[in-house]
Amino acid sequence: MSLTVKVSCDVNAPMEVLWETLCDVKNRPTFVSRVTKVEFKKRSKNHGLVTIHPEEFVHQEGSLWVVESLFQGKTFRSIDSITSMRKPNTSDNDKTASVQISSQFLDKRFSTRNRAVHIGTFTIEALNEKRCRLHGSLGFLPGGCWGALDLWMRKRQIQKLAPLWMREYLTEFATEAEKRSGKQ
């Protein structure tokens, strides 16, 4: 069993500015209200995941970072990874760009055998040179049979709340992109 929610919002900024905002992981705590901290990571052959300096971070497939977020007064940590991306290409009149991020909770509150993976996909659709639309989808994939049972039991709650969270998240990206393009 899996569950997906989809939300969209219009943005009064060029597609390229919104793309830069989506890719600005380093400054995300300054414009995404739920994000309190971001730590950049890379895979090491001998040491698993190691922390790197933000200046070493490159926004590309396989990039990793740990996000600390607030939800209902509690702090949660998750590891996020870019699983695919398609940059805007204005030279060939391409009207879309997208990035897919896989996220897994790291907290002990979530048993390792039942950890769910959340797949967030953000797609930017150019409406014209100065406006675009940001589409977001969030998929919940349970880990193990207990995770599937938990997802089934909380399905209605997730269907009710997840679109609200996603709309808030997209709106904060849109607001930041509009501010960066000087249109707010």
Q: Is 128 domain-assigned?
A: yes
Residue 136 belongs to some domain of the structure: yes
pLDDT for the residue 110: 47
pTM above 0.75, yes or no: yes
Is 53 contained in some domain? no
Does residue 54 form part of some domain? Answer: no
Give the CA radius of gyration of the chain: 17
Q: Does residue 62 fall inside a structural domain?
A: no
End-to-end CA distance of the chain: 41
**145: closest CA among 108, 113, 112, 111?**
113
Give the model's pLDDT for residue 109.
52
pLDDT of residue 86: 87
Q: What is the dihedral of CA 149, 166, 96, 58, to 10 degrees?
A: -90
Q: How many distinct structural domains can be found in the chain? A: 1
Mean pLDDT by 10 residues, the chain (184 residues): 83 94 93 93 77 81 88 83 83 77 68 61 92 88 66 72 86 96 74
For residue 174, what are the domain limits? 3-34+84-180
- Give the pLDDT confidence score for residue 143 in this predicted structure: 65
Rounded distance between C-alpha atoms, residue 101 and residue 119, angstroms = 6
pLDDT of residue 3: 73
What strand order describes the sheet that includes 132-141? 3-11, 132-141, 117-126, 96-105, 74-86, 64-71, 35-44, 48-52
Tokens of 128: 């014209």
In a domain, 76, yes or no: no
Q: Classify residue 48: in a domain, yes or no.
A: no
We report the CATH number of the domain holding residue 170 as 3.30.530.20
